[in-house]
Structure 1
């Protein structure tokens, strides 16, 4: 096996081609290494042309690798799309850890993060959460530019993605984008029956029902986070909140207390 530190440009290109249908992580690693060693002013489009992908497909995988490449193996239960969704989150580590512990979907991780930030999950998600444009990505072609990671921000990520190569990981991107689009509908709820597509059959539902231990872990994790969020400062300012929000909290606490009263 060739030492990665000694790979020639041709060897790097070959490794990237072999990874197209199998691993976005390897593809992102190759793109990042090529940018450092061989780009010499060339863009993501140049690398993409050599391996049969669009500039934006290369750009996205390179960005995810540069951000999470050194830690992603710590999250064996998560898909590449989890990291793609968290690319611009300052609390990405906490969100990914939560998703890893509970084997949560991307939509569930996104909703959990919104809850930690005190957002009303019945309201539309803030578009600032979306790392890449969920619609434009799949509609038009535009050249991506190789940039230093420190210079890259949200604006640079809003590029359109070409459909020249249909790779398996792009299906995950589409699923993530569809999840974002659903969050924008008035009737969408992150944990509702529409959050994961068509309703499962009775047989599928029996197979996928979470065991009591899994449900308990989810509840415990959420309650622990809620307890941490209720700092003395938050409690001190509680009376200044709108009465409707105060009452919702009281109702939620009362309902939970009523349900668990018989457990002890």
Structure 2
């Protein structure tokens, strides 16, 4: 059995930044806490927990005067305010691209424009952005939401892990009823490269394995593209692989989300070869 790997595997720059920062802080300090998840990958979060990182769901569960690492997708303004009240030392592991989106959103509003944020309302990145940018001139919309008709100038930003096709569809909808609109491309280029790679790999394989967390938005995008083109499965690690997937399969394609460790990918390759 032949395995064709994507040219883009493992961590993206933003995840790499957050992961390295978390490890650095763990080596330097005791009593280090993380709110929710560093990234959307169970193996990464479990590894950090084994190194001593305390992972909690709420700020209220963190003792006063200790260190808090934020997730790569950021924490909300309300959560940050609570952390400051508890005198926590906040270490921001927020992806630079997500921070850039926040800066752009603030500038759009400062310039007197209305702001449209496109994204999944329950995604941590969108919760983070909206908590800082919400107000009477800010609109948060997803695919099925009604597009607001705005009289004045409008600026638009989008969740970094969405797909190019989704963004283009939303741009058409927004432009169809709003005249003075400026779109700021805040999509993650590394995610887009992986999305394009799915189309190329699908032409060459009988089966595609998309590797990444079940709650990873960018991994979900890869799966959504792949399943339309070829037999595709999304898995988090080698334990989810089933032997009958490979019946009659000669070539397997492998691609990963941006928070998947290289070690996980290597374990999956090994398991595939054992099943041939």
Q: Which TM-score band (shorter chain)?
A: under 0.3
- Identify the structure with the greater helix proportion: 1
- Identify the structure with the greater strand proportion: 2
Higher relative contact order (CA 8 A, sep 6+): 2
Greater Rg over alpha carbons, structure: 1
